[in-house]
Amino acid sequence: MKPVRIDSLLQLPADGVTVQTEWTTHGTNPVRSLFLEIAFFSGTVGPGLYMVSAAVKYNLGMLLGLLVVVFGYAIPHAAYLGRMERSWRAILRPGQSWISRGFIFANAFIIFAALSVVLPGLPAFGPIVIAASVSAFLLAMYPGFLFSVLKAIPFWHSFVLIPLFLIQAFGGGAAVTIIMQVLQGSEVEGIRRLAMVNSLFIAAAAGLVGLQLMVGIKSGPTGRISVMILMKGPYKMLFVLGAIVIGLAVPMVLFASVGLMGVPPVTALLAAPMQLAGILLFKYCILNAGAYRQLFTEELLSTDG
C-alpha cells in the first residue's frame, strides 16, 4: 500500500509524531466530527441505561435508553458517515469491518428495545428484553473493539478500552437511572443499593483508566506521547481534573456515601451529572490524544476496522 500523509493532522515537534484530527472537532470538518463525539458518548450511556433499567425493571429508563441510542447515537453516527452510497462498503462487511458489526449491534438493539417498550406484558417480553440487553451489551463494547484494531495509534491499540467502555456504559446508565428515580421519589432503599453498585462501577472504571495509561506508556514512544498529552499537555485540566477527579473520584465517594453511610439520596443529583461529565470528557480527551507517526498506510488508520 502506498504511504500517505494526512495534511489535516497537527504536527508535533518530537519524533515526527502527529495527532489525529479526523475524529475530533479540530479537523477540517468540525461539525461532522462533532456528530461522532456525540455518538461516541450516547453509544455508551444509552445502552447502559437500558441494561441497568432492565435489570431493576424500570420501564421509563428502558424507554429513555432507547431514545438516547436512536437520537444520540444512530442519527449523529449516520450524519458523521455522510454519503451512504460510500459508507455501505464498510457497513456490508461484518466479517471484516467493526463498523459493520457496530451497525448490526445498533439496529438489533433498536428493534428489540422498541419491541420491549411497545409490547410489554406479552409472553415473549422476557426473551425480547434479553435480546435487547445482549445487543446493548455488544453495542457498548463495540467502540473498544474498533479502537483496539487501529494499530497506527498505539494508545488506542489496547484491549483495555473494551472493558473500560463497557463499565462506563453500566456506570453512566446507573447514574441516569438514579437521577430519574430520585426525581420521581422512588423507594429509597432501591436507590441506595443502586448507588452502592454504581460506586463499584466507578472504582472499576478508575482502575481501568489507570491500566490504560500504563499500557499507553509501555506501548512505545508514540503511546507515551499520547499519555503526556493527557497528563501534562493541553488536555491536562480536562483529563486530570475533569475526567478523573470530578468525573471519577468525587462521584465514587458521593455514591458510596449514599449507599453505605445513609447520606440522603438527593446527593446523587450532584454525583450523577459529574460522573456523566467525566465519561464525556474522557472520551473527548482520548480522541484528541490519538498520536501516531506521520507516515502510515491507509489500511492502518482505516475506519473499516
Check if the beta carbon of residue 210 is closer than 8 Å to that of residue 276: no
pLDDT digits over 102-122, tens only?
Answer: 888 999 999 999 999 988 766
Q: Hey, what's the cell of 27?
A: 479537523
Domain boundaries, the chain: 10-293
CA 247/CA 90 separation, integer angstroms: 34
Q: Which CATH class, in words, describes the domain spanning 10-293? A: mainly alpha
CA 60/CA 53 separation, integer angstroms: 8
- Our separate counts of H helices and E strands in the chain read 12, 3
- Number of neighbouring beta carbons within 10 Å of residue 52: 29
Does the pLDDT at position 87 exceed 60? Answer: no
pLDDT digits over 219-246, tens only?
Answer: 888 999 999 999 998 899 999 999 999 9
CA 289/CA 226 separation, integer angstroms: 5
pLDDT at 94: 60
Does the pLDDT at position 297 exceed 50? Answer: no
Does the pLDDT at position 294 exceed 70? Answer: no
